[in-house]
Amino acid sequence: MPTGSAADHRSTAPPADPGAAPVMLELVDEDGTTIGTAEKVSAHLPPGRLHRAFSVFLLDDRGRLLLQRRALGKYHSPGVWSNTCCGHPHPGEPPFVAAARRTCEELGVEPALMREAGTVRYHHPDPDSGLVEQEYNHLFVGLVRDRLRPDPDEVAETAFADSAELERMRGSLPFSVWFPTVLDAVLPAVRELTGSRHW
C-alpha cells in the first residue's frame, strides 16, 4: 500500500522550452493507422488529436498490481495514481518497444515478462489540467520481479495492490482520468496471466 497521500494538484500545459527539441507523437485514425505526427502538448490541447499511446500493467508473483503515483512536477495529471507505466511511442517506434523502454526509464526495472493485451480507444478530458486524452492505447501485461528504482522526476511513489486494496485506494485517492478505462480493458488479460478470478 502507498506510504503517503496524494492531494489535489492542478496543472496547466507548460510553456515551450525554446532550447528543447519538440516531443512528437504519432497521430492515428480510428483503426489505429498512422496518419501523421503532432507535437506532444498540442495533441493534448482541446479538443485533442487522436494519437498512439500505451499502458503497462505489471504484477508481482503474488498477483498484486504495480501502481505508480505520478511525480508532482509532471505537466499532465501530476500527483495522481495510475497503472504501472503509460506513455507514447516515438513516431515509428513499435508500441511494445516503447512500453518496455518507458518502464525501464520510469521505474528502473525491466519486465520479467510482458505481452500484448489488446487496444482501447478513449476520449477523456482532464478537468484539472484542461488537457484532453484522445488516445488509441496499446495495452500490455506482464510480471515484475526485480527491485524498483523509480526516477523521482517521473514517479512520486509506488505501491503493489491486490484487487481489494486497489478498490480501497480508488475510494480515497485520486487516480488518472484514463485509469478506469484501461483497467477495464486489460482485466481479461490480467486474469489470464495470474490465473486468478479475484481481479
**Residue 4 confidence (pLDDT):** 41
Asked whether residue 55 is domain-assigned, the answer is yes
Asked whether residue 111 is domain-assigned, the answer is yes
65 vs 191: CA distance, rounded Å = 12
pLDDT tens digits, one per residue of 151-197 = 999 999 999 999 999 999 999 999 999 999 999 999 999 999 998 87
Asked whether residue 48 is domain-assigned, the answer is yes
Asked whether residue 40 is domain-assigned, the answer is yes
Asked whether residue 105 is domain-assigned, the answer is yes
Closest of 135, 106, 160 to residue 40, by C-alpha: 135
9: Cα separation from own chain's centroid:
18
Asked whether residue 129 is domain-assigned, the answer is yes
Asked whether residue 32 is domain-assigned, the answer is yes
Is 7 in a helix, a strand, or coil? coil
pLDDT tens digits, one per residue of 27-53 = 999 999 999 999 999 999 999 999 999
**What domain range is 111 assigned to?**
24-61+85-150+178-194
30: left (phi over 0), alpha (psi -120 to 50) or beta: alpha
Task: Kindly report the pTM of this predicted structure.
Answer: 0.89
Across the chain, mean pLDDT equals: 90
**Residue 2 confidence (pLDDT):** 55
* Domain containing residue 107: CATH number: 3.90.79.10
**Residue 127 confidence (pLDDT):** 84
Which residue is listed with cell 489505429?
A: 32
Is 39 in a helix, a strand, or coil? strand
Q: Show which residues are catalytic.
A: 86, 135
Asked whether residue 42 is domain-assigned, the answer is yes
Domain total of the chain:
1
**Residue 16 confidence (pLDDT):** 44
